[in-house]
Amino acid sequence: MKLIREEIEEVKVLVEGKGSKKSLYIEGVFLQGNIKNRNGRMYPMETLRKEVGRYIKENVSSGRALGELGHPDGPTVNLDRVSHKIVSLKESGSNFIGKAKILSTPMGKIAEALLGDGVKLGVSSRGIGSISRQEGVNVVGEDFMLATAADIVADPSAPDAFVEGIMEGKEWVWEGGILREKLAQDLKAEIEAASRQRRLEERKIELFDQFISNL
């Protein structure tokens, strides 16, 4: 499965509460279905609806729907870079409107300062899944899984080649319930095969030595 990222260029900034209970939120379109996006990909609405339902049940409802500040290079959430918590995702036409609370983490404080100084920020969804070519469109498969519905990014309009080359050039596989990079898995398999071959050669030498000693 490939790492898949999609960028939305702008979100609204909301302030809720007063005084010490004041909280900062971002809100906007986090995911889009049934349209070919600028990366040439299309998410069937049914695929998105199913995965968003799982994500809400397993992550949003339990307070574990977290996102990072910046462009992570893998499909897992790094707690030391978490900046916000996604508190809602609602279907609206072919979009999913999301709302996220800026946290008091170090990265959250950076995001808050940037927003407070008027910096235009966007969001980027992140997940893994297969892609098939259908009538000139790269269609995301039913195995799509969200890592997060939104990371906060300052350059959502980054060239597609950069996103494709840096973020999406790796294959990821499930192994024992853990996502692992395919390159690392292949290297591990090669090392294990070489180790088995070495042990086989060593065993051959041992057997030959035993044969010679018994002559």
Rounded CA-CA distance 135/105 in Å is: 45
Strand-pair partners of 129: 2
Q: Report which DSSP code applies to 119.
A: -
Q: Which residue type occupies 177?
A: G
Confirm whether 124 is a catalytic residue. Answer: yes
Residue among 20, 83, 84, 124 flagged as catalytic: 124
Residues 6+ positions from 142 with CB-CB distance below 8 Å? 47, 50
Token output for 161: 């080649």
Alpha-carbon distances, residue 99 vs 25, 119, 202 (angstroms)? 7, 18, 61
Strand pairing report for 41-42 and 137-140: parallel
Backbone φ and ψ for 214, nearest 5 degrees, come out as: -90, 0
Rounded CA-CA distance 87/36 in Å is: 27
Q: How many beta carbons lie within 10 A of that of residue 145, not counting itself?
A: 15
Residue among 71, 83, 84, 125 flagged as catalytic: 71
Q: How many beta carbons lie within 10 A of that of residue 201, not counting itself?
A: 10
Confirm whether 84 is a catalytic residue. Answer: no
Task: Write out the catalytic residue numbers.
Answer: 71, 124
